[in-house]
Structure 1
């Protein structure tokens, strides 16, 4: 007897894990003078997608997602990680199938005795 026969797939998650991007961000002019390395983790939640034709348009394109996140960070002109979060989340809702976006952003080099410091938040589509 198959265990899967009695289960229901309720959501699908797509992840970007440990993307590292350098950008100018920070509260002070001094902090923004040189690029800072950020590590991003992004998780998209969507309804389970059937892929009967084994075609990319039946799901979210990982390459598109990665490009959107990287470009959003590189084009930022903000001071706060919280504002950058808003920009990344907004960019990640590029497809109507995406229901929820979770983003974790860390500054990697801000404090010499800390591996990373940052934020993690989740936003759902209304």
Structure 2
């Protein structure tokens, strides 16, 4: 197995069970190893045949900054599920998360360390009006999903009263609220914010989505399109 390493990635994150820990973000230090066959990239020189570690670093930062964790264990599990879900050529994830401010008078840091493979995250798939949804992981606090939007389909304009939502583009040509999005284009949706997506490309488009709490079907509230004025006569 070949490996891609990210060492000492620093992210500010809300994490902890004590009231003082929930008031402001504190630093986490991450070491990440991605198990992947690098032989094709080593011969072709094409980034599409490997895993873009800059993108991986951004994905980890986005998820940790959006979420509010009680336990490092949950953060580690979600990161592993997210990376294995988004990056199909990655076969395993090893990561260590250090929390330097956990026990400042007793030790240098507290940390968790996990190793996960695809077998740890069997993906459930659900059909949808726009295509299908891969359920990467649902924890007690959140859900991680890949939204596959078929060619010519769209996610209707909607909002949420309960869920907070983080989304970014994984691939494909997508309009968000009528505007084309490029690169990852991450967006954290607050409650009641209306949004929709349209696939304008020739291939399936993919979005990553994190819902807090995990997806609630009844909280996917569609916005009725404006009615055309009636013509006299």
TM-score by length of structure 2 reads 0.47
TM alignment of 1:1-126, pairs within 5 A: 11-51=1-41, 52-93=43-84, 94-113=86-105, 114-126=107-119
3-state SS of 2:68 partner? coil
Structure 1, unaligned runs of 5 or more = 1-10
Q: Deviation per CA, 1:48-74, whole angstroms, max 9, x where unpaired? A: 431333121121111111111111111
Structure 2, unaligned runs of 5 or more = 120-233
Q: How many residues align?
A: 116
CA RMSD of aligned residues (A): 1.3
* Deviation, structure 1 residue 77: 1.7
Q: Deviation per CA, 1:58-100, whole angstroms, max 9, x where unpaired? A: 2111111111111111111221000111111112112111111
Q: From the two aligned structures, give the one with the greater helix fraction.
A: 1
3-state SS of 1:40 partner? strand
* Deviation, structure 1 residue 12: 1.0
Structure 1 consecutive aligned stretches of length 4 or more whose deviation exceeds 3 Å: none
Change (3 A) 1:43 1:85: same
Change (3 A) 1:33 1:62: same
Q: State which structure, 1 or 2, has the greater radius of gyration over its C-alpha atoms.
A: 2
Rounded Cα–Cα distance in structure 2 between residues aligned with 1:77 and 1:110: 16
Mapped contact 1:49–1:58 kept (Cα < 8 A): no
* Deviation, structure 1 residue 33: 1.2
